[in-house]
Structures are given as structure tokens and as C-alpha cells.
Amino acid sequence: MTTFKKIFDYNQSWVSDKLQIEADYFEKLGQGQEPEILYIGCSDSRVTIEELTGAGPGEMFVHRNIANLVNNVDLNVMAVINYAVVHLKVKHVVVCGHYNCGGVKAAMQSLDLGILNPWLRNIRDVYRTHSAELNSIEDETKRYDRLVELNVQEQCINLVKTAAVQQAMKGRGLEVHGWVFDVRTGKLIDLNLDIHAILKKIMEIYKLD
Ligand code: CO
């Protein structure tokens, strides 16, 4: 059980550790940020991306929501993408899903979840788009895992549908990556998505620049 005392005690020792290594660590941190990565991940408490990748303060611009969705009418994620890509000029955008994602699981069930319905419908749409492949997987865990991966892929496609990402990919070589974190093993998996092939395929319809 986490207590708030534990949190503040830890913070105090973290500050001392940092200062011991570099006396002006926080002075430098206060001067600004130049992260190279925009990370879009799930809000799930087990997917602590900085801890599991060793990314320190200033290295990643982070956005998290339920089931790592890039929804084109979500002003929050769209503002994050615009700010990170256009203003901070990050070099990479990562969408990271994770196995055993509660949001993805919920979208596989027939259940009225109130305000979560419109949010999870985005994942149901991913299922519908890929229903032939998903329905051919008999093992339920494997089907669930595959939906997690396909959801990451579709959110990467949603990224590429934005003008900011299209322009940065062409203009300065911005890269988009799809990852999955396996909470059962601790391993981070690169799905090695061919974003340029995806870009080419969807540009006929989604070209904005
Ligand atoms: Co999740």
C-alpha cells in the first residue's frame, strides 16, 4: 500500500541523489526542455514508461490516456501532438500499448460502461476493421494480445492522418513507432511497423499538406 509519506520521503532522497551527482541538475532542468520523443501510452498504473526505459526528466514528452488512443476529436491528444511535433520538434513519436490492457478488454465485451462507451468505441472500430484476422484466432488470450497490437497500429495510422505529423515526416524525417509493453514479462516490444508504407497507402485519402 502506497502511503503519501513514502512518496514524499522518496522524493527527498531522489533530490539528494541527483544533487550529489550534479550540483546544478535542477538549475539546468529549470531552463527548459528539448525532448526527442513524444510518448503516447496507456494510463495503466503498471506501464511506468520512464522507469522501465530509464528515461530521465526532459527526455520524453508524455501523454497517457485509457488504451493509448489517438482520437482526432480529442483536443487533449491533438494539442499534445501539435505542441510536441510543431513546437518542440521531437524526432520520434511512439504509441505504446500493453498486453492485459483493461480498456482493450472492455471493448471486447458486451457491456454498457456509460461515459466509457464512446471512448472504447474507438477500439471496437479497430476490432471491426480487423475482424477477419481477429476472429480467426481461436485462443482468447492470443486474440486479445493481437487486438492490443492492432490498436497500436491503428493509433499510429491516426497519427499519420494529422497535418503536423505528415509535414514533419516529409520535411524533417520525423519517425513514428509502435510499441507494446508486456506486463507479464516486463519486456518492451517494437512492433517494427512500416510507417512509410502505411503513409503511402493512406495518402490518397488523408493527404493534408
Ligand atoms: Co491499458
pLDDT tens-place string over residues 65-123: 999 999 999 999 999 999 999 999 999 999 999 999 999 999 999 999 999 999 999 99
Same domain (yes/no): 18, 50: no
Same domain (yes/no): 61, 48: yes
Same domain (yes/no): 47, 61: yes
Ligand 1 centroid – CA 75 distance (Å)? 20
pLDDT at 35 over 90: yes
Ligand 1 centroid – CA 88 distance (Å)? 27
> What's the confidence (pLDDT) of residue 201?
87
Q: How far apart are CA 59 and CA 53, in angstroms?
A: 11
Please report which confidence band the pLDDT of residue 208 belongs to, taking 50, 70 and 90 as the band edges: confident
> What's the confidence (pLDDT) of residue 48?
96
Mean pLDDT along residues 43-65:
97
Same domain (yes/no): 66, 164: yes
Average pLDDT in the chain: 96
Same domain (yes/no): 58, 119: yes
C-alpha cell at 28: 539546468
Total residues found in the chain within this entry:
209
3-state class (DSSP) for residue 96: strand
Number of other CB atoms surrounding residue 82 within 10 Å: 14
pLDDT at 163 over 90: yes
Same domain (yes/no): 4, 71: no
Same domain (yes/no): 112, 11: no
> What's the confidence (pLDDT) of residue 202?
86
Residue closest to 165 by CA, chosen among 208, 102, 131, 115 = 208
Q: How far apart are CA 148 and CA 163, in angstroms?
A: 26
pLDDT at 1 over 70: no
Catalytic residue annotation: 42, 44, 46, 98, 101
Same domain (yes/no): 101, 117: yes
C-alpha cell at 160: 499519420
pLDDT at 27 over 70: yes
Q: Write out the residue range of the structural domain in which residue 168 sits.
A: 33-206
pLDDT at 209 over 90: no
Ligand 1 centroid – CA 42 distance (Å)? 5
Please report which confidence band the pLDDT of residue 200 belongs to, taking 50, 70 and 90 as the band edges: confident
Residue 132 near residue 156, CB atoms below 8 Å = no
Q: What is the residue type of 84?
A: A
Same domain (yes/no): 85, 24: no
pTM score of the predicted model: 0.95
Q: Count up the domains in the chain and report the number.
A: 2
Ligand 1 centroid – CA 156 distance (Å)? 16
Ligand 1 centroid – CA 102 distance (Å)? 5
**Helix residue ranges, H only, the chain:** 4-21, 25-29, 49-53, 75-82, 102-107, 116-129, 131-135, 140-160, 163-172, 195-206
According to DSSP, the β-strands at 92-98 and 37-42 are: parallel
